[in-house]
Amino acid sequence: MKIYVDADASPVKDIVISVAHDFGLQVVLVKSISHYSHDEAMDGVETVYVDTGADAADYRIMKLADRLDIIITQDYGLASLGLGKGCLVLHHKGFAYTNENIDQLLQTRHLSAKARRSGHKTKGPKPFTDEDRKKFQNLLRRTIQANI
């Protein structure tokens, strides 16, 4: 089992790395080359850089991930693809994407995009809180424990 993080805008990279280390799991951070960093590599963490295209990170994650790997993303499209491949997919706000909730999430995304295109304003995401952090960390630990 590996953990793949759609890492460009992920606020939980540090939590993922810490929890993965506790379980001895490999973490793969997938980032756009525009977010290149000279940071020192950490044990158990690989960084994969991709082109700056809109879905480049998503495609690379799908190419690399295997069944029962964990994918961390806020992208509903990537989540849907990951579920179709048999991956465990988590959102940084502390909920798991499932075959039961993905259709509704995609439909909501579609309707919001349609409203924006027609000139309506839609609400953005709520700020990421310490409570969200704790909720995500607990979900990640439970997900790993249930699947190792």
What pLDDT, on the 0 to 100 scale, is given for residue 120? 77
What pLDDT, on the 0 to 100 scale, is given for residue 148? 86
Q: 75: number of CA atoms within 13 Å, CB side?
A: 21
The pTM of the full predicted model, rounded to 2 decimals, is 0.87
What pLDDT, on the 0 to 100 scale, is given for residue 36? 72
Domain count, the chain: 1
What pLDDT, on the 0 to 100 scale, is given for residue 110? 66
What distances in angstroms separate CA 57 from CA 14, 21, 65, 71, 146, one per listed residue? 19, 23, 12, 12, 27
Residue 52 has pLDDT above 90, yes or no: no
Q: With CA atoms as reference, report the closest residue to 93 among 21, 10, 28, 19.
A: 10
What pLDDT, on the 0 to 100 scale, is given for residue 94? 96
Average pLDDT of the segment spanning 61-78? 96
Q: What CATH number corresponds to the domain at position 29?
A: 3.40.50
Q: How do residues 6-35 score in pLDDT, each as one tens digit?
A: 998 899 999 999 999 999 999 999 998 876
CB 10 within 8 A of CB 136: no
Calculate what percentage of the chain has a pLDDT beyond 70: 95
Position 109 confidence tier, pLDDT thresholds 50, 70, 90: low
Q: With CA atoms as reference, report the closest residue to 33 among 14, 13, 47, 17.
A: 47
What pLDDT, on the 0 to 100 scale, is given for residue 54? 75
Domain of residue 77 covers: 2-147
What pLDDT, on the 0 to 100 scale, is given for residue 28? 98
Beta-carbon contacts of residue 38 (< 8 Å; ≥ 6 apart): none
